[in-house]
Structure 1
C-alpha cells in the first residue's frame, strides 16, 4: 500500500560541506530507518572553516515545495532548521497550518553554541508568534533558551523555570540542550513534557572540535522517531543517546570544525 513507509520532512537550508543543515538531518533520518523529504529554504557555501556565502530561495518556490509534498506523500513528522527572516518564517508557518505534515519538532536556530545571534529582532518575534505555538517539541540550546526568556539561566532551577515559560508560549514539550556542569564533566539537557513530567539527561562532556550538526541531529532523530510512532519521551531519549555516540566517536572530515559521526550508531533497518 502506498505511503506506509515512515516519512519525515526537514524544512531548512543545505550546507555544502554536509556537516549540518538538511544534510545532517537526512543522515539522521536514514540511520533511524525513516524516509527523508525536504522543503529547501536556502543554500550555504561553507566548509569546516566557516560559512562563506548563502542564498535564500524564492518564497513562491518554497510554498510550492509544501504543496507538492502534501499532494503525494504521507509525512508523519516535520522538523525545522535555520529560517533566515520573518517573511520566510511566515511562509513556513502558513504552510504548516495549511497542510498536515504530522508532529512538528522546532529547532529554533537563534543563537549559536558560542553565543552569536543569528536572527534579527523581527524574525525572532515572528518565530515566537507563529512557529512556537505550532511545536509539538521545541529543542533550544542553552543560549537560545536564555534569549527566548530574556534573562541569564544560572541554576538548574532557572532552566526548569525557563522551560515552563517556553511551554506557556505554546510549545507542548521542551528540551533545553547543552548546559555544561561547573567542572565541565557533563553536559546536561533538561526536558519538560506536556503532561508536566520533567527530567535531566546528563552525558559525559567530550572535548572535540567535531560537533557540527549536533542540534540538527537531535531534532532530526526526534522527528524520525515520532514519524515511526514513538512517544515524545522515548523519541527524546533516543535522540540524546544517538548524539552522544556520534560526538564521542569523531570522524576526521575537514581541517577545523568538523561533523559529528552519525555512523557511530547502529542503523535501524526498515
Structure 2
C-alpha cells in the first residue's frame, strides 16, 4: 500500500484540513498519516479559534512518521508561523521525501491575508523551493507573482513568474475560479502550460476543496502517476465529490469524500 503524509491543521468539523486529507487518502486507497500543525475550532460558518502546536512537538511528530512508516508523498497545508515552517523544512531536508505537494494557504477566496508578512516570506523562501508542486488559488497566485490576474493569459504569465522564482524546479498549479468565473486550472510544469478544463458545478458547499485537491494530487503522485495525470485525476475526483451534493451544516458545507466508494448499507 502506498503511504501519504499530510502536514496541516485540524478541522474539528471534518470538512477541511487533515480530516479532509485523510478522507481523501482513504478514498484513494492509500495509507494516510498526519502531522498536526494547528488545532482549529471551526465549522461550516467560520473559524472561531486557532491553537498552534510547538515547533518541538511538530518535529517529534514528523520524526515518528519518517523513522517508521516513510511516506511515498507529502501534502503540506496550513502552517501559520515561521517557526513551524522552518521545522517542516528542516525535516524535509533531512529525510528527503519525494512528491511534495504544497497548498500555500496564504489568502482566502475573498482576498483576505491569512498569514503575517514574516510567515509568508518564510513559506515562499524556505518551504516552496522544496515542493514538487504548489497549488495557489487566484488571490495567492497574485501575491506570489506580484501581478493582477483577471484573464486566462495572465494566469499563464503569473504561473511562469512564480516558477521562475523557484528556479523552474517546482510545478505551479494555478486554480481557476474566483474573479475569473471559470473552473479551469493551469499547470505550469517543465516550461509548459497545460490547461485542465473543469465544469462550473452549482454547489455552494465547497468547504475544504483546496485541501482535498492537493491531497488527491499527492495520492496520485504516490501511485506513480506523472504530474499532469495526477492533476487530471485529482480534478475528476473533486468534481465528483462536489457533484454528489452533500448538504451539511448551516454555512458552506463539506464535500462527500466517499462519493465513489461502494459501501453496503
**CA distance in 2: counterparts of 1:157 and 1:248, whole angstroms:** 28
Q: Give the match for residue 174 of structure 2.
A: 176
Q: Secondary structure at the match of 1:28?
A: helix
Greater mean alpha carbon deviation, residues 200-209 or residues 137-146: 200-209
Q: Give the match for residue 97 of structure 2.
A: 101
Shift of 1:263: 2.2
- 8 Å Cα contact 2:54/2:84 also seen in 1: no
Residues 1:127 and 2:123 aligned together:
yes
Residues 1:150 and 2:149 aligned together:
no
TM-score normalised by L of structure 2: 0.94
Using a 3 Å threshold, how does the CA distance of structure 1 residues 181 and 120 change in structure 2: closer, same or farther?
closer
For structure 2, the 5+ residue unaligned runs are: none
**CA distance in 2: counterparts of 1:181 and 1:248, whole angstroms:** 22
**CA distance in 1: counterparts of 2:149 and 2:96, whole angstroms:** 35
- 8 Å Cα contact 1:86/1:127 also seen in 2: yes
Q: Give the match for residue 26 of structure 2.
A: 30
TM-score normalised by L of structure 1: 0.92
User: Structure 1 residue aligned with 2:238, among 232, 239, 243?
Assistant: 243
**CA distance in 2: counterparts of 1:172 and 1:254, whole angstroms:** 37
The 5-angstrom pairing of residues 32-111 of structure 1 reads: 32-111=28-107
Shift of 1:180: 5.5
User: Structure 2 residue aligned with 1:117, among 110, 113, 117?
Assistant: 113
Q: Give the match for residue 136 of structure 1.
A: 132
- 8 Å Cα contact 2:9/2:77 also seen in 1: yes
Q: Secondary structure at the match of 1:105?
A: strand
For structure 1, the 5+ residue unaligned runs are: none
Q: Which has a greater percent of strand? A: 1
Q: Give the match for residue 6 of structure 2.
A: 10
Deviation per CA, 1:210-248, whole angstroms, max 9, x where unpaired? 101100011001101111111111110001111111112
Using a 3 Å threshold, how does the CA distance of structure 1 residues 181 and 123 change in structure 2: closer, same or farther?
closer
Q: Give the match for residue 184 of structure 2.
A: 188
What value does the CA root-mean-square deviation take over the aligned residues? 1.5
Q: Secondary structure at the match of 2:93?
A: helix
Using a 3 Å threshold, how does the CA distance of structure 1 residues 121 and 181 change in structure 2: closer, same or farther?
closer
Q: Secondary structure at the match of 1:263?
A: coil
Shift of 1:53: 1.1
User: Structure 1 residue aligned with 2:214, among 198, 215, 219?
Assistant: 219
**CA distance in 2: counterparts of 1:181 and 1:83, whole angstroms:** 26
Greater mean alpha carbon deviation, residues 148-157 or residues 119-128: 148-157
**Off by >6 Å, runs of 4+ in structure 1:** none
